[in-house]
Amino acid sequence: MASGVGTTRPLLVRGGTAVDVAGARRADVLVVGERVAAVGPHLEADGAEVLDAAGAFVIPGGVDVHTHFDLPVGEVRSADDFESGTLAAACGGTTCVVDFAGAGREPPEEALRTWHARAGGRAVVDYAFHLTVTSVPEDPVAARALFAGFAAAGVTSVKLYMAYPERLMVDDATLARALRAATAEGVRVCVHAEDGLEVARRQDEARRAGRGSPADHPGTRPPEVEAAAARRAAALAREASAPLYVVHLSSAAGLEAVRTARDEGAEVVAETCPHYLFLTADALAGPVAEAQNFVCSPPLRSDADRRALWRGLADGDIQVVATDHCPFTRRDRARGVADREEGWADFTQIPGGLPGVETRVGLLFQGVREGPLTLERWVDAVAGAPARLFGLGGTKGSLAPGTDADLVVFDPGAHRRLDAAALHSRADHSPYEGMDVVGWPALTLSRGRVVARGGEPAGTAPGWGRYVPRSPSVTPHGR
């Protein structure tokens, strides 16, 4: 098989089944330089290096719009930096990540400077940033100027937290101002939809009752806490005539809240994550040393929630699957965010989040193998929709001529065991330990360059990945 590494010759990916928003069809893909030059049957190109994709799917590289690389959380930090995180992404068929810049209430320009310094020269595949917003000026002109500045820097989406009162939570008035001003400037508003005050009340109650183990975590953040926040955010969005993006939707109740809001006229897009599709709260019930590795927020749910999310994904009510990749080592999990020698005092001190950037594309393909997803839904959820929704539609997430040659040749028969030892994240545990999947990327190309082969690094170079300034994520209005 041809390498394509460092070559200036055209590359012809021949004989595969191309899948993207244009459908699934037998088509060759011609790459010239860093871009797709043509897609169609029986392409020929003089002097091209030919790559045989017979029996494989040729899909746009995955776009993961929810990662947390190199993120400080209390006294610990997420285990993957931009080098290991994007390397893991490449091995699993993801060629562009949108990472959340900002660790807390630092000014956005400082967050952006810091994140550029962390990613620059290290990333293996392309990257972009969202910003975390914790305050919005009351003066509408100043508010719009804030978001116009983000858009000018290529940051056309922000996240506001309705949870974490101690660090990040905003009130409804702030969220309403953000929805109005951001939309006017083409910036998409994403929300972490959990009612933070209700979570805090339940956490206090749990502490007082001596319920502090990982198994007690979901009870402090039940589905209704997510649904209530989603309803509130959607009502504000509707009032502001602004679209809303709900990140990491985890429950049937949350999904129902999104559906109802849409029926009532709100424009709400929903994202879920592989861990809510494949795992349940049972993972939190075992011995603490293992259970602590499954703490994330929103928490893992019931099997009924998991099934409802699959249905929502299949029927298009959930548009995006992103990872919320936020791994921590076993050691950091055990010590906790307060970094106490004796370890965390209760589950609220366990750094939250799971690894996922490498396993997302392959895991979601199981939805095709097992029935609920069509090939097109799979590719749209992991690549097409996230690119279109986040201002990357002109360059990523499709096979259209002129877009970046971010391609995955996906072998539907390849077996992969999802143990930490077989993966490339610096997390030393995998939520899917012992699980075998069938279907894995045979080859990942980033802008025409092979960066992974057979799920292993190949020709990867830190610094090959570039910052991608994004176009508007929503149609600007209200100016």
Which amino acid is it at 146?
Answer: L
Tell whether residue 112 is a contact of ligand URP (CB under 6 A). no
Minimum distance, C-beta of residue 8 to Zn ion, in the bound complex (Å): 39
Does 98 participate in binding ligand URP (rule CB under 6 A)? no
How far apart are CB 98 and ligand URP at their closest, in Å?
A: 13
Which residue lies nearest Zn ion, judged by its C-beta? 192
Residue 439 in contact with ligand URP, rule: CB under 6 A: no
Taking the complex as a whole, the smallest distance from the CB of residue 138 to ligand URP amounts, in Å, to 26
Q: Which residues contact 44 (CB under 8 A, 6 or more apart)?
A: 12
Residue 139 identity (one-letter amino acid)? D
By C-alpha distance, which of 13, 3, 24 is closest to 379? Answer: 24
H-helix or E-strand spanning residue 407: strand 407-417
Is residue 275 within the footprint of ligand URP (CB under 6 A)? no
The two three-digit tokens of residue 14, written as one number: 């021949």
Both tokens of 439, joined, read 């279907």
Residue 426 interface partner, choices ligand URP, Zn ion, none, CB cut-off 5-8 Å depending on type? none
Q: Which is nearer to ligand URP, 324 or 406 (CB)?
A: 324
> Does 353 interact with ligand URP (rule: CB under 6 A)?
yes
Residue from 195, 226, 317, 324 touching ligand URP (CB under 6 A): that is: 324
> Which lies closer to Zn ion via its Cβ, residue 126 or residue 324?
324
Residue appearing with tokens 């009510």: 317
**How far is residue 94's CA from residue 100's CA, in Å, rounded to a whole number?**
17
CB of 298 to ligand URP, least distance (A): 7
Choose from ligand URP, Zn ion, none: what does 352 bind? Cβ within 5-8 Å by kind.
ligand URP
User: Side chain identity at 250, as an amino acid letter?
Assistant: S
Q: Which is nearer to Zn ion, 324 or 380 (CB)?
A: 324
The three-state secondary structure class of 235 is: helix
By beta-carbon proximity to Zn ion, the closer residue of 196 and 312 is 196
Q: Whose Cβ is closer to Zn ion: residue 192's or residue 416's?
A: 192
Partner from ligand URP, Zn ion, none contacting 355, C-beta within 5 to 8 A by type: none
Q: Indicate whether 70 belongs to the interface with Zn ion (CB under 5 A).
A: no
Q: Which tokens belong to 2?
A: 């041809």
Considering only residues 30 to 89 of the shown chain, the ones binding ligand URP according to CB under 6 A are: 68
Nearer to ligand URP, 180 or 192 (CB): 192
The secondary structure element, H or E, covering residue 277 is helix 274-278
Angle, in degrees to the nearest 10, between helices 252-263 and 223-239: 20
Distance CA 282, CA 299 (A): 11
Nearest distance from C-beta of residue 29 to ligand URP, angstroms: 34
64 touches Zn ion by CB under 5 A? no
- Does residue 130 bind Zn ion (CB under 5 A)? no
In the list 20, 64, 70, 324, the residue contacting Zn ion (rule: CB under 5 A) is: 324
The bridge status of strand 456-457 relative to strand 449-453 is antiparallel
Q: Which is nearer to Zn ion, 229 or 373 (CB)?
A: 229
Q: Which is nearer to Zn ion, 325 or 426 (CB)?
A: 325
Among Zn ion, ligand URP, none, partner that 251 touches (CB below 5 to 8 angstroms by kind): none
Residue 284 burial class via C-beta count within 10 angstroms: exposed 0-12, middle 13-18, buried 19 and up:
buried
Tell the smallest beta-carbon distance from residue 219 to Zn ion (Å).
19
Residues forming beta bridges with residue 456, ordered by sequence position? 453
For position 275 contacting Zn ion by CB under 5 A, the verdict is no
- Give the count of beta carbons closer than 10 Å to the beta carbon of residue 262: 16
Q: What is the DSSP string of 429-474?
A: --TTTT-EEEEEEEEEEETTEEEEETTEE-S--TT-S-B-PPPPSS
Q: CA-to-CA distance for 206 and 217, rounded, in angstroms? A: 9
Q: Which of residues 174-203 bind ligand URP (CB under 6 A)?
A: 192
Question: In the complex, what is the shortest distance from the CB of residue 438 to ligand URP, in angstroms, rounded to a whole number?
Answer: 28
Coil, strand or helix: which one is 38? strand
Quick check: 380 binds Zn ion (CB under 5 A)? no
- CA dist 178 and 368 (Å) reads 38
The contact set with ligand URP (CB under 6 A) reads 68, 192, 296-297, 324, 326, 352-353
**Which residues lie near Zn ion (CB under 5 A)?**
192, 324
